[in-house]
Amino acid sequence: MIPEAHLRRSSQTDGFTLIELMVVVMVIAVLIAIAIPSFLGFRSSAQDRAAQATLRTAEKVATAVLIDEGTFPNKAALLVLFPTIETTIEWIDHNDSSTGPPQVSLDDDNGGQELALATLSESGSCFYLRVINSAPPARKVVQAAATCASHDFQGGADTGW
């Protein structure tokens, strides 16, 4: 037989103490404090990758035109031609600043031998790409850019993304 004292419930096991609840809340708060900056870093990185992908697509369009034409047409002709080749990108003049990854500012330079492209990431970074006839492309990124227009990267060195 089981003694009667074992069958009675102790009043000490009815629930959690205030200290135990406070410890759980503190652990959750620490985990959230660690997770939020990591999440924001991933978000910014993803926004930058979207802008870079837009410029890679623009580079492919520019290379296709360069192969077909032998040189880049002037920017007025490119602003008419590029939207017929790639409709997902909004092509804008070099005087206009890109406001996001779907917009690419473009400028021609060096007698049809170079084409400068720029797009603004949602993180605030401006990504530049210069496509050069018979040379590797040049890349540059500016963090927290005030403006993001293609004419800002004429003749600059390749500093990469």
Using CA atoms of 149, 153, 159, 161 in order, give the dihedral in degrees to the nearest 10: 20
Rounded distance between C-alpha atoms, residue 2 and residue 16, angstroms: 27
What tens digit of pLDDT does each residue of 93-112 get? 988 899 988 999 999 877 78
| pTM score above 0.85 | no
What tens digit of pLDDT does each residue of 26-84 get? 999 999 998 888 887 788 899 999 999 999 999 999 999 988 988 888 888 999 999 99
What tens digit of pLDDT does each residue of 131-152 get? 988 888 999 999 988 899 988 8
What are the residues whose beta carbons fall under 8 Å from the beta carbon of 127, sequence distance 6 or more? 48, 51, 52, 55, 118, 119, 120, 121, 139, 140, 141, 161
pLDDT band at 10 (very low <50, low <70, confident <90, very high): low
pLDDT cut 90: percent of the chain above it: 51
pLDDT band at 1 (very low <50, low <70, confident <90, very high): low
